[in-house]
A = this chain, B = another copy of it.
Amino acid sequence: MSNLINEACVKSHQAWVGYRETTYKQRENLLVAIAREIEALGDVLIQTAMEETNLPQARLTGERGRTCNQLRAYGKHITDGYWANACIDTAIPDRQPLPKVDIRKVNQPIGPIVVFGASNFPFAYSTAGGDTASALAAGCTVLLKAHPAHLETSRLVASAITKALVSEGLSEDIFIHIEETDFSAGKALVQHPNVKGVGFTGSFGGGMALIKYAQERAEPIPVFSEMGSINPVLILHENYDESLEQKINQLAGAITLGVGQFCTNHGLIFGLKGPVLDKAAHQLGTAISKVGIIGKMLHPGIAKSYVQNYQTALDQNGVEVVARSVEADEPGIGLIAKTSSATFAENKKLHQEIFGPYSLIVECDDLEDLLAVYEHLEGQLTSSIFIEPERHDVQKLAVAKMIHKSGRVIINGVPTGVEVCHSMVHGGPFPSTTDGRFTSVGQDSILRWVRPVCYQSFPDEVLPVALQNDNPLNIARLVNGVWSTAAI
């Protein structure tokens, strides 16, 4: 292990011993200050990110806005205190056969967290993205491994975080920016004894490598890798009407948005063989054809993989092209292909995610066949249905299967635009993530980095503020089995 990594991990632990004692309000102030400092960077941040990622100005400006809003939302989440899961069971001294003592619990931070920046979201899932925000919210320190593809962008954001720490009077070591770009640095971080958790958004290969590194540790630690998914769409319309056409156009937009480089991009479309699906495929093809050259992909490696992967898919027996946005094998072209459910079921190569604006239509014989083929998919971040709103029985039938394969199920909508709210789940069964019990977006993403601590028979003054009788933080607490903000 390099000295640099070891020193960073030692500093991060030392900083955590102080940071874990901060009040919820101090942590909220820190997140708000980070948002402010990122905004204060101004155009230079957007320009730098444009140069490094090929993403257009409007997209990056939007993503910066989302990132800063997310920091402020998590700040509010901290002082709202739901993540703390404060519970109080008061004493019953005269209970028979044994008295009951006073028992309370509240979540506490687990320690330094390693966060890996993602290539496809240089702001929202990188340096000051959801993993960093949720770890800082929890009271954990962060070791941020910068993504080598946008190192300068990451440096700028890291400088904003450092400024915020200084302005809030906190240790600069609460957030440490790691710029060593080789794989061994990532491995050394994940394997350092001071590190107590890992957050990652990226490829299946990258996420699984981190799991393997973590498994070599003496002490198991949580690794939350969000590794993407194919996000199937089930077209179950009985009639081709205007509403379906609108949804198909929305789908074309979702497939090509950001050159298809979203974790919620749709790589699979299931439909029932017949005129409705034929028209839908035709309309989707038409919409894709009109798009033309969509844009450059994030970096040359991703562009090269995309072309290789879709060519492999198109080379499979029984797969035909429906439409291309450009009549040449350029990186970043939109592409719709088609196959039968029998071909799809037999050929596992067609089940793999192709990162880019590609989608495969699977023609099924009937609903039973469609749900049987769907059942063979691996775990997904999202699954969607396009269907007439009133056909509840078919919706129920499909949803009963879909919820056990997906983190999020959408009726008549697309999953792009991951709302930051309490109810959001950006997670899902393996291999979409390494632990489907958690989400990486929304307040509950904080739960990845905390553990409950129980306080038995404590004097009120010695309890953490969140558990004191008069509820000084005014948070909701489960008091003797009922949520309440009242004093005890």
Contacts and interface: CB of A to CB of B under 8 A. Distances in A.
Contacts of A413: 101, 456-457
A389 B462 CA distance: 10
A277 interface: no
A19 to B, nearest CB: 12
Interface string A95-109: 000101101110010
A427 B456 CA distance: 14
Interface stretch (A23-31, A309-317, A418-426): A418-426
A421 B104 CA distance: 10
- The listed residue with most B CB atoms (<10 A of its CB), out of A101, A427, A451, is A451
Contacts of A215: 215
A456 B404 contact: no
A454 B424 contact: yes
A209 to B, nearest CB: 13
A80 to B, nearest CB: 7
Copies in the complex: 2
Given A101-B419, A220-B434, A455 B392 contact: no
B451 A437 contact: yes
A291 interface: no
- The listed residue with most B CB atoms (<10 A of its CB), out of A400, A421, A476, is A421
Given A105-B423, A451-B436, A410 B457 contact: yes
Contacts of A220: 211, 430, 434-435
Interface in A152-188: none
Contacts of A423: 87-89, 103-105, 454
A361 to B, nearest CB: 23
A456 B403 contact: no
